[in-house]
Amino acid sequence: MSASAGEGAAVTAAWDFSGPLDSSRAEDLESLRADLAAADYSSEGVEGIVGAPAFEALHAEQLAPGRLLLADFWAQEDRAAQVAGAEEDSLASASGAGERAEAQRRACAVMAGWWVFATPQPAERLAAAFPRTGLEGLARLGFLALEDAEAPAGASLRPLADLRPHEGDDIGLIWVASDLGSHYAEKALDSEYVLGVGQASLTLARSIVRTPARSALDLGTGCGIQVFHLLAHCDRVTATDLSERALNYTAFNLLLNADRLRLREVDGAPRVRLLRGSLLEPVEGEAFDLVVSNPPFVITPRNARTDSSRYTYRDGGLPGDRLVAELVQTLPRVLKPGGVAQLLGNWEIVGDEPWDSAPRAWEASARETASALQPSGGDADAWFIQREETDTLQYALTWLSDAVRTWDAGAQEAALAEYRDDFASRGVTRVGFGLVLLRRPRGPEDAWRTGSVFEEITHPIEQPVGPSLAAALERRAQTARAAAAGKAGELFAVVAEDVTEERHQRPGAEHPGVILLRQGAGLRRTCLLSSELAGFVSAADGELSVAQIAGALEAILEEEGLAERLVPEVLQLVDEGFLVLPAVEG
Ligand SMILES: C[S@@+](CC[C@H](N)C(=O)[O-])C[C@H]1O[C@@H](n2cnc3c(N)ncnc32)[C@H](O)[C@@H]1O
């Protein structure tokens, strides 16, 4: 038994979640892993076969270009085989570097066709692409129906579950299993559908503050995508889900990729715990350094129809945006002092109200509850970043077509009407989407100076944005401590590397009318400066402290009280990353 299989055996007993895949078969897992690696079933491998444009088209869920190119690939292969009068070599029997490379391309083409491009594959091609696992092994693992394992050559076989490559700088190449997408079955998704790695999964993964941590929680883990990345920087990870089927996939994925995810035990205890239950119920009374969640935040009209066939992967079963509200209000309870929670969410916008009305109300209510429960700082600072806003009709259409591609007109109209009436019952006109970050202060001294932050940033931001959010948290804690100690003036600030200044001036004017600072990285904000603050920024080279520069400006401009007025504005520039504190950031 290999090292990873041994690790698997140590934890699978606790991971006995029923579902489509069987992760208790160490030898079959080992064989599958070896076949996938030998085929170079990676994004690069797949792109190498269908080309960049067809590969890129996958982002828009367009499979047709890749399917066409794969059909061409096999036509060419068949012609070449006829010319050579040779039978197809399997990867196991191929000899010589050229033949092995050819066999590798064929195996990768089979896997890409079967999973990525949702095309049934002939039994003999599958058998050749999986020489170690075999059709029987695929069936034992749950990827193939048992009767298909004995299908005659030429039979066209469909998989029962999806498996595709996922890469990250932190974890390298892994393979992630989930339910088959709707391209295979042109019908409504099953209500227990387990999502693969989607755009929202990646948006969250790229936003996570990845400082080393001892303990992390992934709430609503799905196929486990957030856990895989958490394992790269957290000693122990707890993953929860309401869906047993989701935990079945997570367990399988962890064990299939055990080596690359370094799933080995730390201090005698497994690094990952998988727990079934709703929201925080499975971890009641525990606290973590980091909590991440891509929760089932999709707003859904509540009625007997939507409740009886609830899409667990996206619908938390509560009215409107209550699920996100509840998480914002309760997550601080499971954060250690200094701990951070990050989640994605939707919020409803009523009438002409500003986008942040609901987030501000949730935040205020979370603080009230926290101070009632724990008067000395049991609450958290919140940072909401609204990334987009959608009108209610567009929102309804997007989510209705996400699960059902083939509506008949009457049913779609009825479902749209449910959405219209549901939104109207609360006066909702728009829906916001964004990132939420909650940070529990270590104590009153490092609670954010200006309280919670509500920002709308709809332009493209640097990705991954996680490192920039991590640096922002450091700076905010630093300015908070300095201000609390009355030492803000003693900080030394310099202009951040990515920041440029823009001055706009009427022709012939003596002074610029507009001075802007722009960030080239991170959240790529723009900030309008007063001429005094612009004077400060020009002098901020780290030689003089904040108080010294502000004092000098007050003297030069002969404006009494200027220094005192400038300091908080300068701290704001530090909080937002236009200025940085070299002593803190090293
Ligand atoms: C949008 S998916 C996120 C999956 C994965 N974490 C990702 O980032 O792609 C939401 C997950 O939350 C789970 N879920 C739904 N209701 C839940 C609840 N009340 N408590 C915990 N998890 C829940 C679903 O089963 C699903 O796996």
Cβ partners under 8 Å of residue 513, min gap 6: 504, 505, 506
With beta carbons less than 8 A apart as the criterion, state whether 340 and 470 touch: no
Give which of 144, 148, 184, 180 is closest to 164, Cα–Cα.
180
- Calpha distance 76→59 (Å, rounded): 27
- Compute, in angstroms, the gap from residue 312 CA to the centroid of ligand 1: 7
Q: How many beta carbons lie within 10 A of that of residue 286, not counting itself?
A: 13
With beta carbons less than 8 A apart as the criterion, state whether 179 and 194 touch: yes
pTM of the model: 0.94
Residues of the chain with pLDDT under 50: 1-6, 376-377, 586
**Can you tell me whether residue 119 is helix, strand or coil?**
coil
Residue 547: DSSP 8-state: H
Q: Name the residue at shortest CA distance from atom 20 of ligand 1.
A: 278
Q: Closest ligand 1 atom to the C-alpha of 196?
A: 9
Q: What is the pLDDT of residue 185?
A: 72
With beta carbons less than 8 A apart as the criterion, state whether 565 and 533 touch: no
Q: Which of 176, 229, 237, 241 is the pocket-test mutation for ligand 1 (most atoms within 8 Å of CB)? A: 241
Residue 153 phi/psi, 5° resolution?
-55, 140
Amino acid at 429: T
- Compute, in angstroms, the gap from residue 221 CA to the centroid of ligand 1: 6
Q: Tell me the CATH number of domain 482-585, given options 3.90.930, 1.10.357, 2.30.30, 1.20.5.
A: 3.90.930
- Calpha distance 16→274 (Å, rounded): 10
Q: What is the pLDDT of residue 91?
A: 61
Q: Closest ligand 1 atom to the C-alpha of 316?
A: 16
- Calpha distance 321→303 (Å, rounded): 16
Structure tokens at 414: 């009825």
Cβ partners under 8 Å of residue 370, min gap 6: 332, 333, 378, 379, 380
Q: Name the residue at shortest CA distance from atom 19 of ligand 1.
A: 278
Domains 199-460 and 482-585 share a fold: no
Q: Which of 313, 314, 324 is the pocket-test mutation for ligand 1 (most atoms within 8 Å of CB)? A: 313
With beta carbons less than 8 A apart as the criterion, state whether 177 and 253 touch: yes
Give which of 485, 491, 376 is closest to 441, Cα–Cα.
376
Order of strands, sheet of 526-529, starting from the edge strand that comes earlier in the sequence: 499-504, 514-519, 526-529
State the burial class of residue 226 (Cβ atoms within 10 Å of its Cβ: 0-12, 13-18, 19+): buried
Cβ partners under 8 Å of residue 571, min gap 6: 449, 479, 482, 483, 488, 491
Residue 58: DSSP 8-state: G
Nearest 5°: CA angle at 270, between 264 and 272? 100
Give which of 153, 152, 188, 129 is closest to 143, Cα–Cα.
129
Cβ partners under 8 Å of residue 383, min gap 6: 436, 437, 438, 439, 452, 453, 455
- Compute, in angstroms, the gap from residue 416 CA to the centroid of ligand 1: 24
Domain limits, the chain: 22-160, 199-460, 482-585
Kindly report, residue by residue over 103-158, the tens digit of the pLDDT: 999 999 999 999 999 999 999 999 999 999 999 999 999 999 999 999 998 899 99
Q: What residues flank ligand 1, with Cβ below 6 Å?
A: 195, 198, 201, 204, 219-222, 225-226, 240-243, 246, 278-279, 294-296, 312-314, 316
Structure tokens at 111: 């896997």
Q: Does the structural domain 199-460 have CATH classification 3.40.50.150? A: yes
- Calpha distance 340→432 (Å, rounded): 22
- Compute, in angstroms, the gap from residue 230 CA to the centroid of ligand 1: 16
With beta carbons less than 8 A apart as the criterion, state whether 344 and 434 touch: yes
